[in-house]
Amino acid sequence: MKLVVGLGNPGARYRRTRHNLGFRVVDRLAERWSVAVGGRRHETELGEGSYSAQRVVLAKPLTFMNLSGEAVTRLRRSYHCEPGDVIAVYDELDLPLGRIRVRRGGGPGGHRGVVSLIAAIGAEFSRIRIGIGRPPGGADPAEFVLEAFTPEEAARIDGIVDRAANAVESLIRDGLEKTMGEFNRVLADG
């Protein structure tokens, strides 16, 4: 079983912000796999289905980003899964817009949602990090992540969300090493 957790913040105010890319990837996977994500259990919107002969739970924690670990702890208990079965999908300031990085383990890199996950379940979960870039002109990163994408950035977001969803599917289907080899390389289109 795989638990795919998109990190983000609940509510219409945050729907189109940089910090909600994880939610958008979960929504895209739900569309692809015909999985209904909704309702509220364990402080999370959930959907259950399968992909590549694996049982998959799609999750969007409703605890707000900085408390994501609380919801994931409840989900792990309910679904009896190990940290290695968790795939976290989230935005990353330290990568250029659209760049995807896949890894397992490591530190939080300053991302408070990942800090919460590590505190709750340890560091040995898989991560799909989606680059949003650094704020221009030294603007406050905490404000930057809660802003909507610029029109130029927004024009690229559907493709970026598709590529991140492809990375999740590859991780489930092909495993970590192959997925890292495919998605961690630098692409000419960013």
pLDDT tier at 190, thresholds 50, 70, 90:
very low
Provide the pLDDT for residue 15: 94
Residue of 19, 42, 80, 111 marked active site: 19
Q: How far apart are CA 64 and CA 102, in angstroms?
A: 23
Least confident of 6-20, 36-50, 85-99, 176-190: 176-190
Provide the pLDDT for residue 143: 94
- Are 182 and 130 spatial neighbours (Cβ–Cβ below 8 Å)? no
Provide the pLDDT for residue 188: 44
Provide the pLDDT for residue 186: 66
User: Which among 5, 40, 18 is positioned nearest to 118, based on CA atoms?
Assistant: 5
Provide the pLDDT for residue 189: 47
For the record, the structure tokens of 172 come out as 């489930």
Residue 110 has pLDDT above 90, yes or no: no
- Type of residue numbered 111: H
Provide the pLDDT for residue 58: 98
User: Which among 15, 19, 18 is positioned nearest to 27, based on CA atoms?
Assistant: 15
Per-residue pLDDT reduced to its tens digit, 170-186: 999 999 999 999 999 86
Can you say whether the dihedral through the CA atoms of 89, 126, 168, 153 is positive or negative?
Answer: positive
Provide the pLDDT for residue 22: 98
**What is the average pLDDT across 44-72?**
96
Residue keyed to tokens 């590549």: 52
User: Which one-letter DSSP state was computed for residue 134?
Assistant: P
For the record, the structure tokens of 188 come out as 């000419």
Least confident of 79-88, 96-105, 134-143: 134-143
- Type of residue numbered 188: A
3-state secondary structure of 43: coil
Residue 111 bears catalytic tag: no
Per-residue pLDDT reduced to its tens digit, 128-159: 999 999 998 888 999 999 999 999 999 999 99
Query: With pLDDT > 90 as the criterion, what percentage of the chain qualifies?
Result: 91
Q: How far apart are CA 95 and CA 130, in angstroms?
A: 7
